[in-house]
C-alpha cells in the first residue's frame, strides 16, 4: 500500500445516498472496450493496480457504519481480487455474465476487470457506483489508458495519488448565492409536486421478485442510423437525449396503450458538473442529480410529436436548476438521521411505491466516451460503451452511451421480475420508430 495514502476516508454524502438506494439497483456501472489486437496482459494488470492508488478510494472497501459510512483502504490488494483473464469463443455472452454479476463493494476494491481473449481482446470494467457516476467511470477509463500508455515506455512509472481532489457536493453548492439556494429549494418542491400529482406511469410489465437472473439487453445504433437521427431532430431543436427519451416513452405507451389513464414520465439523471467552473479539478465522485419529466397521457401521433413534448418538458427543467431539487432534503437527512435508519426508510418507501406502480422507469444518458482520451498507445480501441446499473424487480431502467459516431442503448434488469422478451420487444419498437437509413 502506498504509505502516503490514509487508511480511512470519509464518505461523501452521495456515496451514502447510493448505499441507501441499493435496494433499488446494483451499485455498479460497466464499461466495455474492444480493441484491434492484444493488450500486454502484465502491463494492463500493473496499470489497474496503480489506478487503485491514483484514486485512493477505489482501492478501499465501503464500510456502512450505523451513523455514517467510510472508505477503508485494503491492506493487501491482490491482483486476483480485481483482475482476471479468460479465453472465449463468445465475448458477448461472457462480458454480459461478468458485468451482470454484482460487484462486492463492501469487500473491495471498487473496480473489477476481466480481459476476454478471442480473435481480439475485450476489456470489461465494473466500477462501484458508491465510488463514482458514469462521468467518473469514463474519467477512470482515461486514467487507466494513460497509465498503461505511459508504462509501455516507462516501466517504473508510478502516478501521484489524488489526495487533494474534492468528492463533496459542496463543490456544487458553493457555486450559488443565497438566492440560488432558495431557488434550488423551490426546485425541490416542484419535483415533489410533479411526482405526487401525476398519474401512475407507463412501464414494462413486471412482478416483485428476488433480484436473480441478472442480464443486459444491448443494442448498438450504428453511425449511419445515428446520422439519420441527427438530421431528423435538427428541425425540432431537440437533442439526441430528447429523441431517445421520446422513443422509449412511445415504446412504453404502445406496449400497453389500453391503459390510457397512465402518464408518460421518466426518472432522468442530470450531470451537475455543468454548474462548475471550467478549471475545476476533483477526484472521482458522484455528481449527478435527478429530474422527472412528464409529457402527459398521450405521446401524440408521431415520433416528432413526442419529441416536441419531451423537448418542451426538458427545456423547462433546464431553465430551473435541473438536477438539484433533491439535494436540500438529502442534505438535511444526511446531517440529522443515522445512515442505517435512512436505508431502512428508503427500502420501505420505495417498495410500497413500486408495488403501487408509482415510480416511473429510469433513463440515464451516460454521455460520449472520448476516443482521443481513451488512448492506450499502440493498442487501438475499436468500440467502447457504458452499461447502466442493473435495477431490481419490479423496477426497469435504460441507459445510453456514445463512442465516435455510434450510440449504444442498453438495459440491465432481473429476469426473475421482467421477461427478457418484453425488453427485446420494447427495443425492437424503438429501432422501428427510428428514421430509415437512405439507400
pLDDT tens sequence across 101-160: 999 999 999 999 999 999 999 999 999 999 999 999 999 999 999 999 999 999 999 999
Q: Which residue has the cell 484514486?
A: 55
Q: Which of 96, 126, 153 is the last residue of a domain?
A: 153
Assigned domain for 377 exists:
no
Residue 32 within a domain: yes
pLDDT in the model for residue 163: 87
Pair 207, 91 in one domain: no
| Together in a domain, 86 and 183 | no
Residue 75 banded pLDDT, cuts 50, 70, 90: confident
Which of 101, 119, 153 is the C-terminal boundary of a domain?
A: 153
Residues 197 and 327 in one domain: yes
In a domain, 17, yes or no: yes
Please list, in sequence order, all residues whose beta carbon lies within 8 angstroms of the beta carbon of residue 302, skipping any fewer than 6 positions away. none
Domain-located, residue 294: yes
Bridge partners, 85 (sequence order): 115
Question: In terms of C-beta distances under 8 Å and separation of at least 24 residues, what long-range contacts does 87-92 make, across chains too?
Answer: 87/116, 87/117, 87/118, 88/116, 88/117, 88/118, 89/118, 91/34, 91/116, 91/118, 91/122, 92/218
Same structural domain for residues 127 and 256?
no
- Provide the domain count of the chain: 2
Q: How far apart are CA 159 and CA 42, in angstroms?
A: 17
pLDDT for position 279 = 53
Domain termination residue (choose one: 120, 153, 186)? 153
Q: Which three cell numbers stand for residue 297?
A: 397521457
The 121-128 sheet, strands edge to edge:
83-87, 111-117, 121-128, 28-36, 380-387
Write down the pLDDT at residue 81.
83
**Domain of 245?**
170-367+391-433
Please enumerate in sequence order all residues whose Cβ is within 8 A of that of 106, keeping only pairs 6 or more positions apart, or say none. Answer: 61, 62, 63, 64
Name the more confident of 166 and 362: 362
**Structural domain contains residue 35:** yes
21 and 82 housed in the same domain:
yes
Q: What is the pTM of this model?
A: 0.95
Residue 259, domain CATH: 3.30.559.30
The reply to whether 239 and 345 lie within a common domain is yes
Q: What percent of the chain has pLDDT over 90?
A: 79
Task: Kindly report the three-state secondary structure assignment for every residue of 76-92.
Answer: CCCHHHCEEEEECCCHH
In sequence order, what are the residues at sequence separation of 6 or more whose Cβ sits closer than 8 angstroms to the Cβ of residue 401? 134, 365, 366, 367, 368, 369, 385, 386, 407, 408, 410
Give pLDDT tens digits for 18-70: 999 999 999 999 999 999 999 999 999 999 999 999 999 999 999 999 999 99
Percentage of the chain modeled with pLDDT above 70: 96
Amino acid at each position: 500500500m502506498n504509505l502516503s495514502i490514509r487508511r480511512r476516508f470519509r464518505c461523501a454524502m452521495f456515496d451514502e445516498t447510493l448505499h441507501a438506494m441499493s435496494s433499488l439497483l446494483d451499485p455498479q456501472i460497466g464499461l466495455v472496450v474492444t480493441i484491434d489486437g492484444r493488450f500486454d496482459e502484465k502491463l494492463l494488470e500493473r496499470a489497474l493496480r496503480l489506478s487503485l492508488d491514483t484514486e485512493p478510494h477505489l482501492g478501499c472497501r465501503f464500510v456502512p457504519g450505523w451513523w455514517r459510512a467510510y472508505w477503508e483502504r485494503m491492506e493487501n490488494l491482490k491482483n486476483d481480487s480485481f483482475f482476471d483473464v479468460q479465453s472465449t469463443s463468445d465475448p458477448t455472452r461472457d462480458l454480459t455474465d461478468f458485468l451482470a454479476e454484482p460487484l462486492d463493494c463492501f469487500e473491495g476494491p471498487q473496480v473489477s476487470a476481466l480481459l476476454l481473449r478471442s480473435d481480439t481482446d475485450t476489456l470489461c470494467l465494473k466500477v462501484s457506483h458508491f465510488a463514482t457516476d458514469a462521468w467518473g467511470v469514463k474519467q477512470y477509463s482515461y486514467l487507466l489508458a494513460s497509465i498503461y500508455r505511459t508504462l509501455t515506455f516507462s516501466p517504473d512509472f508510478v502516478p501521484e495519488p489524488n489526495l487533494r481532489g474534492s468528492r463533496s457536493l459542496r463543490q456544487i453548492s458553493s457555486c450559488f448565492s443565497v438566492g440560488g439556494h432558495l431557488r434550488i429549494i423551490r426546485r425541490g418542491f416542484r419535483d415533489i409536486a410533479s411526482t405526487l400529482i401525476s398519474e401512475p406511469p407507463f412501464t414494462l410489465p413486471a412482478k416483485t421478485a428476488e433480484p436473480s437472473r441478472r442480464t443486459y439487453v444491448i443494442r448498438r445504433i450504428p453511425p449511419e442510423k445515428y446520422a439519420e437521427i441527427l438530421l431528423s431532430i435538427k428541425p425540432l431543436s431537440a437533442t439526441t437525449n430528447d429523441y431517445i427519451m421520446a422513443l422509449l416513452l412511445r415504446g412504453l405507451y404502445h406496449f400497453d396503450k389500453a391503459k390510457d389513464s397512465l402518464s408518460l414520465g421518466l426518472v432522468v439523471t442530470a450531470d451537475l458538473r455543468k454548474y462548475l467552473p471550467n478549471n475545476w479539478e476533483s477526484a472521482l465522485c458522484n455528481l449527478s442529480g435527478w429530474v422527472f419529466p412528464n409529457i402527459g397521457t398521450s405521446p401524440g401521433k408521431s415520433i416528432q410529436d413526442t419529441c416536441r413534448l419531451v423537448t418542451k418538458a426538458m427545456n423547462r427543467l433546464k431553465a430551473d436548476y435541473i438536477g438539484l431539487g433533491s439535494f436540500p432534503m438529502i442534505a438535511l437527512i444526511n446531517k440529522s438521521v443515522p445512515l442505517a435508519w435512512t436505508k431502512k426508510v428508503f427500502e420501505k418507501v420505495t417498495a410500497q411505491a413500486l408495488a403501487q406502480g408509482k415510480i416511473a422507469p429510469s433513463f440515464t444518458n451516460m454521455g460520449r466516451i472520448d476516443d482521443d482520451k481513451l488512448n492506450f498507445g499502440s493498442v487501438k480501441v475499436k468500440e467502447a460503451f457504458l452499461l447502466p446499473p442493473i435495477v431490481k424487480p419490479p423496477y426497469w431502467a435504460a441507459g445510453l452511451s456514445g463512442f465516435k459516431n455510434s450510440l449504444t442503448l442498453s438495459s440491465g434488469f432481473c429476469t426473475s421480475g421482467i421477461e427478457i422478451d418484453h425488453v427485446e420487444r420494447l427495443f425492437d419498437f424503438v429501432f422501428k420508430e427510428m428514421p430509415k437509413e437512405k439507400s
